[in-house]
Amino acid sequence: MKTIILFGALALVALPATAAFAVPMCDGPDFERLHKDGTPIYSEIDMAAMAEQELRARGIDASDTRWWNGCLQTFVRENGRTVMKFYDPDSYREIPVN
């Protein structure tokens, strides 16, 4: 009985940790920074739209692009299917999700 409880407790601790490894992390813009008048320095919506245009210019059929964990999250049309992908905001390289 003690071993079952021990394995259960271990699983509860280990599962969230393994999920964290699958999350892409990037050094995107700091959307919390403000001008002296209190307005945001960076517009998240505008920067996502500009990044989507850059992805399209690079031949990536991106749509519905947004910022997620500092990375660009976008939906790409491939082989008749729409798949979610992540891209580095500096190099526009795809970030594989583990």
The model's pLDDT over 9-43, given as tens digits with 9 standing for 90+, comes to 555 555 554 444 556 778 777 777 788 888 877 78
Q: Which domain holds residue 36?
A: 2-95
The number of C-alpha atoms within 13 Å of 33 and in the hemisphere containing its C-beta is 6
Claim: this prediction has a pTM higher than 0.95: no
Residues 59-88 have pLDDT tens digits of 999 999 999 988 999 999 988 999 999 999
- 36-54 tens-digit pLDDT: 888 877 788 888 999 999 9
Given a contact cutoff of 8 angstroms between Cβ atoms, the answer to whether 77 and 61 are in contact is yes
> Any long-range contacts for 71-79 (C-beta under 8 Å, 24+ apart)?
71/24, 71/25, 71/26, 71/28, 71/95, 72/26, 72/28, 72/48
User: Domains in the chain: how many in total?
Assistant: 1
Burial class (CB in 10 A: 0-12, 13-18, 19+), 17: exposed
